[in-house]
Every structure is written in structure tokens, then in C-alpha cells.
């Protein structure tokens, strides 16, 4: 006989729990002080100022390159930070998973909050800078860059859902992922322009999710162009595949997550 369980509706205030997890994660990371809170918000803005100052000296003759470099670095940083914390999110909250019944995806989504806050502060700082130097993007460009961020978030969420349940079975998955992201930094055209790679290889580079997000964001915010519809469809397809695969893994393995803790 197969196991058939029908637990009654467990009433959990999901938004309330999500908010509490995000707030307490943020608080433990910055020790709950006002200075810590200010620092969390200032850090990405200060990083932007530092990188702009350094790159302005090194790449004085190529202003777009330094802006593209900064866009690439911040989007990459979001990807690495979010996937790193998402991967260990279930394990990190084992004390909740083994004692209460609630939708476990809440833990995974909440773990991405810090990376999202950092990226949001950077995006606002970057937009303010573009306005200040007279390169303010139009409404369509801003909307498109927001769309790219949403799709990037879907990619990161899908990866985190899938990897968080696999991490409970393979405890060195985070180390393997660290190596992959080290290599991935050079697969994504962050420090080099994509043009130096022969065009026939571009399609492969675009399959690495950070590549299209970085390239498209640069196109609409810095270079003043809009990628083709086909390119957008490719990005949507990559995000949909990663999210669906991650969600399917999570759906299959999360019901037994507590047994591996």
C-alpha cells in the first residue's frame, strides 16, 4: 500500500512568516544596530563610488566600458550571493523545519532577501548616477531592465529551490558550486567585451543565465540599444527552464527534507 497522507489545512501566515524571516536575517547579519542598518544600505552605494573612481582613472578613455564593467560586477555579485545563500537555506533553518509544518519554500525565498536589497540599492544608485551625468534612460529602458531583474530573480530562485534540497543529500554541493561560479565569472562577459569571442560561440555563452541578463541590461542602460525579440525570448526560455527544473526538484524532495537534517 502506498503512503497517502492528507494533513488538514495548516494555516500559516506566509507573508508574515516571510517578513519575519527577512527582518531577522537582516538583523542577525547587521547585529540589529542602526549603524548596521545604515551600513547595509550604504555598502552597495559606497562600492559603486569606489569602483567608479578607480575605473575612471584606469579606463578614462572608454567611459562606457567602465559603466558596463560596474553593471556586470553588481549583477554577478547578486547572482553569486543569492545562489550561495539559497543553496544552504534549508539546512541553515533546520531548527524550524524539524519542528513545525509550513511551506518550506518560504525559507528559500527569504534567504535571497539580502542579495535583493543590495541589488536594489545599487540599481537606484546607478540610475541616479545616469541621471546626474545626463544619460537618463527612458521609461521603456527602465521597464526592460526591471524585466531582466525579475527574470534573473526567477533564475536564482529556481536554482536555490533545486540546490537547497540537493544540498541536504550532498553536503559539499556548496563547494562545487563555488568552483563553478569561479569559472562562470569568466564565461559571463563581465570583464571582457563579448565581441572578442567569435560569434558562433555566443549562443553557448548566452545559455549561462548571467550572460543575457548582463548583456541586455548593459544594452538598455548604457549602450542605448534594445536587444531583439528573439534574444528576449531566449532569456525568458532560460529563466523558465531553470525555474521549472528547480521547482520540480523541490517539489519532489522537499517533503522528506526533515529526514535528512
Partner 1 sequence: MNVIEARELAKSFWIPSAKRETIREHVIHFYRRRSFERLDVLRSVSLDVRAGETLGIMGRNGSGKSTLLKILCGIYRADRGTLIVRSPVTPILELGLGWNPELDGVDNVLLIGTAMGLSLRQARRSLDEILAFAGLERFAGMPLKHYSSGMAARLAYSVAFKAVRDVLVLDEVFAVGDQEFRARCEARYRELSAQGHTVVLVSHEPRIVSAFCTRAVLLEGGTIVKEGSGEDVVRDYAERMAAAS
Determine the Cα–Cα distance for residues 213 and 151; give it in Å rounded to an integer: 8
Q: Which residues contact 28 (CB under 8 A, 6 or more apart)?
A: none
From the CB of 25, what's the least distance to partner 1, in Å?
A: 9
Q: 35: left (phi > 0), else alpha (psi -120 to 50), else beta?
A: alpha
What 8-state DSSP symbol labels residue 118?
H
The torsion angles phi and psi of 210, rounded to 5 degrees, stand at -65, -25
Residues 74-103 that bind partner 1 (CB under 8 A): 94-102
From the CB of 14, what's the least distance to partner 1, in Å?
A: 9
Contacting range for partner 1; rule: CB under 8 A; set: 12-20, 51-59, 192-200, 206-214? 12-20
From the CB of 73, what's the least distance to partner 1, in Å?
A: 29
Nearer CB in complex with partner 1: 103/227: 103
Dihedral (CA of 181, 183, 186, 188) sign: negative
Pair 45, 121: CB distance under 8 Å: yes
| Secondary structure of residue 133 in the 3-state scheme | coil
Nearer CB in complex with partner 1: 10/61: 10
Determine the Cα–Cα distance for residues 87 and 89; give it in Å rounded to an integer: 6
Nearer CB in complex with partner 1: 27/50: 27
Nearer CB in complex with partner 1: 94/120: 94
Write the binding mask 217 to 256 for partner 1: x where contact by CB under 8 A, - elsewhere: --------------------------------------xx
Residues 123-182 that bind partner 1 (CB under 8 A): 169-173, 176
For partner 1, how many residues bind (rule: CB under 8 A)?
Answer: 43
Pair 82, 156: CB distance under 8 Å: yes
Query: Interface with partner 1 by CB under 8 A: which residues?
Result: 1-13, 15-17, 19-21, 23-24, 27-28, 32, 94-102, 169-173, 176, 255-256, 258-259
Amino acid at each position: 500500500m502506498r503512503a497517502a497522507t492528507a494533513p488538514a489545512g495548516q494555516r500559516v501566515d506566509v507573508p508574515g512568516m516571510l517578513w519575519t524571516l527577512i527582518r531577522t536575517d537582516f538583523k542577525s547579519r547587521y547585529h540589529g544596530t542602526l549603524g548596521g542598518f545604515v551600513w547595509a544600505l550604504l555598502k552597495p552605494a559606497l562600492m559603486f563610488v569606489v569602483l567608479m573612481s578607480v575605473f575612471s582613472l584606469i579606463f578614462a578613455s572608454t567611459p562606457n566600458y567602465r559603466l558596463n564593467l560596474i553593471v556586470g560586477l553588481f549583477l554577478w555579485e547578486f547572482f553569486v550571493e543569492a545562489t550561495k545563500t539559497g543553496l544552504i537555506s534549508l539546512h541553515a533553518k533546520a531548527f524550524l523545519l524539524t519542528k513545525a509544518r509550513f511551506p518550506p519554500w518560504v525559507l528559500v525565498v527569504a534567504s535571497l532577501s539580502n542579495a535583493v536589497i543590495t541589488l536594489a540599492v545599487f540599481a537606484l544608485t546607478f540610475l541616479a548616477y545616469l541621471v546626474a551625468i545626463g544619460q537618463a534612460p527612458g521609461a521603456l529602458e527602465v521597464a526592460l531592465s526591471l524585466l531582466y531583474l525579475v527574470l534573473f530573480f526567477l533564475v536564482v530562485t529556481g536554482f536555490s529551490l533545486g540546490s537547497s534540497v540537493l544540498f541536504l543529500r550532498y553536503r559539499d554541493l556548496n563547494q562545487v558550486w563555488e568552483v563553478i561560479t569561479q569559472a562562470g565569472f569568466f564565461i559571463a562577459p563581465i570583464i571582457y567585451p563579448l565581441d572578442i569571442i567569435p560569434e558562433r560561440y555566443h549562443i553557448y555563452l548566452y545559455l549561462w543565465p548571467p550572460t543575457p541578463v548582463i548583456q541586455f541590461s548593459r544594452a538598455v542602460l548604457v549602450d542605448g540599444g534594445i536587444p531583439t525579440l528573439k534574444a528576449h525570448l531566449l532569456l525568458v526560455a532560460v529563466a523558465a527552464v531553470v525555474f521549472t527544473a528547480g521547482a520540480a526538484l523541490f517539489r519532489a524532495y522537499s517533503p522528506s527534507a526533515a529526514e535528512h537534517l
